[in-house]
Amino acid sequence: MESTGSVGEAPGGPRVLVVGGGIAGLGAAQRLCGHSAFPHLRVLEATARAGGRIRSERCFGGVVEVGAHWIHGPSRGNPVFQLAAEYGLLGEKELSQENQLVETGGHVGLPSVSYASSGASVSLQLVAEMATLFYGLIDQTREFLHAAETPVPSVGEYLKKEIGQHVAGWTEDEETRKLKLAVLNSFFNLECCVSGTHSMDLVALAPFGEYTVLPGLDCTFSKGYQGLTNCMMAALPEDTVVFEKPVKTIHWNGSFQEAAFPGETFPVSVECEDGDRFPAHHVIVTVPLGFLREHLDTFFDPPLPAEKAEAIRKIGFGTNNKIFLEFEEPFWEPDCQLIQLVWEDTSPLEDAAPELQDAWFRKLIGFVVLPAFASVHVLCGFIAGLESEFMETLSDEEVLLCLTQVLRRVTGNPRLPAPKSVLRSRWHSAPYTRGSYSYVAVGSTGGDLDLLAQPLPADGAGAQLFTPELRGAVASFPTHWWMRVSRLPTRWWMRLQILFAGEATHRTFYSTTHGALLSGWREADRLLSLWAPQVQQPRPRL
């Protein structure tokens, strides 16, 4: 029920809601729950589980990652790595100094074997030569970060322009030149998976170098990534997270009353799909950008400011899916870690666009060999873009049949046993996700991620609003100082009604779990600076 009363006091401390129980939301909740200034905090999670895009499933006799796979850059500067280490979730190798000091440049390692569509194996020397060329050019794209202008708008266009110049100098026979281009096309597909995009032509060149790569050889959780979010959940007070509670609309910048809180008024009221309403002084929104974009017209009332809504529309958000195949016996060598697929009639310099139903599988980069679970052997394929989204529309049987034919073709073995079973992610179809992760698209900049991260109302933020006079007033309050918060000007109380976290709000670590975690901590700290300025915030030990 809406009221005309003024928002003037918070008798038991501020009521804070976190929308979304992924690592950003859990990180914010865990940080706030550690302080007595926030006794009333709830996390509203739309699904039946916490973790968001971190999703580990028991399958094939072990654990597979349907969502986030690696800790990217596992070293002292990575809060996910640090937290995982504190919880005892990593092994000796992952924790070793040697592992932490590896500089990958953000590039994926070379394949153990490369299969061509003709059934022949591609020379690993040729693959390494093309990898050196491709990743050298990727590194060059990062140099345009501070340039006054760029030669072309996108990373893809720049790569193709430079590759075209290299091709002009190749002296090999036509067949070898075509094979080189096909291998390069495979690297383009791989980079689409890394960036979470359909095409590198959609990724903006100028801000591409803003993404920061941390040192460390990417590592996994032997017992599942979700072990991390489970530990974070366990650290929260009981019943903090409310499951299967999707939010319909966040009503903000108002003055709301709820029967359960007589005499109190709130600037925000969160309406759920089932009709329940939760009043709040502050709401931290951590939903994925894909969901936010799809529900932009109805998720906020009043609507978001035009510039924030425009940033949400401009930032890229694509799909990267996994396809797990279980085999009775491995057809690959014991030391094989990565299988590359190369389609010999493809080239990054040609814009071939066959029908998705006929060629979706050509976007598959190949397979990562997962550690064997007892006598079970599993390959994990990666596929990005529109082809990945089309794959979601197929049945398991159709995917299994198609990939059986692909593997028989590339290995040159028409009798290769079919996989026993298949499991795959469907991140684009997931109603509360609608994709995988963000990238800075052509037409957007890193400033759009910063704009998305700005709290509402837009005319103030956190510690900047807490003047020395107000800090002094709060510092002089007794233990339950929030009981007397009505002494402060009403205007400051209306700040920070809606805060935004999630990987798409981190300018340099977008698309990563550590970017998501840091964004949750950032917004928690913003509230702590407002409500508990006398408390020195513990910083992560990085």
Give the SS3 label for residue 219. Answer: strand
* Closest to 127 (Cα-Cα) out of 186, 201, 41: 186
pLDDT for 27 equals 98
Whether residue 279 is preceded by a cis peptide bond, meaning omega within 30 degrees of 0, is: no
- Whether the CB-CB separation of 453 and 499 falls below 8 Å is answered with no
Residue owning tokens 């640090």: 82
DSSP-assigned letters across all residues of 356-421: HHHHGGGG--EEEEPPPBTTBEEEEEEEEHHHHHHHHTS-HHHHHHHHHHHHHHHHT-TTPPPPSE
pLDDT for 13 equals 85
Rounded to the nearest 5 percent, the helix, strand and coil shares of the chain are 35, 20, 45
The pairing of beta strand 498-500 with beta strand 247-251: unpaired
List CB contacts of 145: < 8 A, sequence separation 6 or more.
Answer: 206, 207, 208, 209, 210
pLDDT for 317 equals 98
Q: Which helix (H) or strand (E) holds 241?
A: strand 241-242
Q: How far apart are CA 264 and CA 60, in angstroms?
A: 53
Q: Which helix (H) or strand (E) holds 250?
A: strand 247-251
Per-residue pLDDT of the chain (542 residues; tens, 9 = 90+): 333 333 334 557 899 999 999 999 999 999 999 898 999 999 999 999 999 999 999 999 899 999 999 999 999 999 999 999 999 999 999 999 999 999 999 999 999 999 999 999 999 999 999 999 999 999 999 999 999 999 999 999 999 999 999 999 999 999 999 999 999 999 999 999 999 999 999 999 999 999 999 999 999 999 999 999 999 999 999 999 999 999 999 999 999 998 888 889 999 999 999 999 999 999 999 999 999 999 999 999 999 999 999 999 999 999 999 999 999 999 999 999 999 999 999 999 998 777 888 899 999 999 999 998 878 999 999 999 999 999 999 999 999 999 999 999 999 999 999 999 999 999 999 999 999 999 999 999 999 999 999 999 986 433 334 444 444 444 444 444 444 444 444 445 578 999 999 999 999 999 999 999 999 999 999 999 998 875 545 554 43
DSSP-assigned letters across all residues of 480-512: TGGGGGGGS-HHHHTS-SEEE-SGGG-TTTTTS
pLDDT for 352 equals 75
Q: How far apart are CA 270 and CA 17, in angstroms?
A: 8
- Whether the CB-CB separation of 161 and 150 falls below 8 Å is answered with no
